[in-house]
Amino acid sequence: MMVTGEEENLIVVDGLAKQYKEFTLHGIHFHLPAGYIMGMIGPNGAGKTTTIKALLDMIRPDAGTISLLGAATAADRIALRDSLGVQLDTTLYPDYWRVKQVAKSLRSFFPQWDDAYFDQLCTDMEIPLKTKYKSMSRGTQVKLQLAAALAHHPRLLILDEPTAGLDPLARDELLTRLQDFIADGQHSVLLSTHLTGDLERIADFLLYIRGGRQQFFGHVDDLLGQYVLIKGGLADLTPALRAALIGLRTHSEGLSGLLAVDQTVGLPDTLLQESITLEELMIYFGRGPHA
């Protein structure tokens, strides 16, 4: 696809599966080359966090292989964690910790920990130094995690809902920071989010998971270019079109649905064909192929 053999993949996941009592993650497969940002989207409970936990060896997959920064075994991946920056969608530090305590506790674990850079990040992100972690807003807690994730100069960032709780300005600053992070072509970012607008702005690759199943993976532009949004009257809805439309929605005034570009040949002129946004792609795919 978009990745040539010469590009180095910082993440390669193949056939990842994990079964719980009430949820199963089925055969996830994707790769993330150096120098790119990949977005992982899907509704709540889709399997995004499970995928991230598998990448971090927090859970043991039932099937599949994971290569992180070239390390294919759990032991090798752990040895490379200094090159990995992580932010999780959970309250991560003890309640009473302040910024200083975070640095004090983490610096001994990361040989490349950079106190000056951490201080700079905290200043840039306007993280209050004297406030206890439990008293910080959700957005500030995320910022503190991000500062800690970046402070040891990782090569790969894995971020779970990093824009949650951030105001529009902070969100914009974060997205700019992530773009700067990958600018040298050696670093990459994997982030999961509900906010497709953020991904539309920065993501090169997209992984869409729903109900534990991978809906698609690919380059954002390729994916958006592969489908068009079809709108028209109900009279145009032939059985063949009904079968071909993805996420078909019918209402009193007509119909709408996604259609693969190669299936648009021969469509009547009465049907409108519009380019799609990431959000529309997610919504229509979310409804299933023949809703």
Partner 1 sequence: MRNAYKMMMLDMHAVSARNNVVYIYLAIDLITIGLAYSPMREDAFLIGFGGMIGGSGAYLITPFISSAQRSLDALYAMLPIRRRDVVHGHYLFALTVGLLMLGNTWLTLMVIHLLRPALFGSDFQILLSISLVGPYMLLMMTAVQYPILMRVSYEKAPYAVFLPFIVTGLFVGYLGGISSQFVGTAGFLSRRGLRIGGIALAVGAVLFIGSLWLARRLYEYRDL
Minimum distance from residue 141 beta carbon to partner 1 (Å):
10
Minimum distance from residue 133 beta carbon to partner 1 (Å):
8
* Interaction between residue 72 and partner 1 (CB under 8 A): no
Closest to 268 measured CA to CA, from 217, 226, 234, 227: 234
Residues 6+ apart with CB under 8 A from 109: none
* Interaction between residue 92 and partner 1 (CB under 8 A): yes
* Interaction between residue 80 and partner 1 (CB under 8 A): yes
Query: Quick one: which segment of 81-89, 167-175, 207-215, 226-234 binds partner 1 (CB under 8 A)?
Result: 81-89
**Per rule CB under 8 A, count of chain residues that contact partner 1:** 31
* Interaction between residue 88 and partner 1 (CB under 8 A): yes
Nearer to partner 1 (CB atom), residue 158 or residue 282 = 158
Nearer to partner 1 (CB atom), residue 18 or residue 171 = 18
Nearer to partner 1 (CB atom), residue 81 or residue 143 = 81
93/100 Cα distance (integer angstroms):
12
Nearer to partner 1 (CB atom), residue 84 or residue 255 = 84
Minimum distance from residue 164 beta carbon to partner 1 (Å):
15
Nearer to partner 1 (CB atom), residue 56 or residue 191 = 56
Contact pick of 57, 173, 200, 236 for partner 1 (by CB under 8 A): 57
Sheet with 246-251, strands from edge to edge, namely 246-251, 254-260, 227-232, 272-274
Residues 6+ apart with CB under 8 A from 60: 18
13/262 Cα distance (integer angstroms):
29
Q: Are 147 and 61 in contact (CB under 8 A)?
A: no
* Interaction between residue 202 and partner 1 (CB under 8 A): no
Nearer to partner 1 (CB atom), residue 83 or residue 215 = 83
* Interaction between residue 255 and partner 1 (CB under 8 A): no
Kindly identify the residues of this chain, within the stretch 131-150, that bind partner 1 according to CB under 8 A: 133
Site residues (vs partner 1, CB under 8 A): 53, 56-60, 75, 78-82, 84, 86, 88, 90-97, 101, 104-106, 108-110, 133
